[in-house]
């Protein structure tokens, strides 16, 4: 499946919200458009790609290189 940005996200993008609070306040990340949008749907209203709702936990990489 191919998703294409239609440019709608430009108007949906949310500003003045810190990255940490974006997910908590219901904002979702579209990896295709690279924007945060606020919607109750699972898909991006712009391109239709599935939105990311939670931030990834940072995995601390242990360097085991001798
Ligand atoms: Zn878009
Ligand atoms: Zn999108």
For the segment 33-66, what is each residue's pLDDT rounded down to a tens digit?
A: 998 888 888 899 999 999 988 755 555 566 766 7
pLDDT of residue 47: 93
> How far is the C-alpha of 55 from the C-alpha of 10, rounded, in Å?
21
Distance from the CA of 52 to the center of ligand 1, in angstroms? 14
Q: Is the Cβ–Cβ distance between 53 and 31 less than 8 Å?
A: no
Query: What's CA 63's distance to the chain center, in Å?
Result: 29
Alpha-carbon distance 3 to 58, whole Å? 27
First to last CA, the chain: 43
For residue 22, what pLDDT is reported? 65
Question: How remote is the CA of residue 62 from the centroid of ligand 1, in Å?
Answer: 37
CA of 66 to the centre of ligand 2 (A): 43
Q: Model pTM greater than 0.75? A: no
Q: If residue 30 lies in a helix (H) or strand (E), which one and from where to where?
A: strand 27-30
Which two structure tokens, joined as six digits, stand for 27? 């904002």
Q: Which ligand is nearest to the CA of 9?
A: 1
């Amino acid at each position: 499946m191919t998703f294409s940005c239609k440019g709608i996200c430009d108007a949906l993008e949310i500003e003045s919200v810190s990255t940490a609070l974006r997910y908590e306040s219901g904002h979702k990340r579209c990896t295709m458009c690279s924007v945060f949008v606020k919607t109750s749907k699972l898909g991006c209203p712009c391109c239709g790609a599935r939105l990311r709702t939670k931030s990834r936990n940072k995995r601390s990489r242990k360097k085991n290189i001798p």
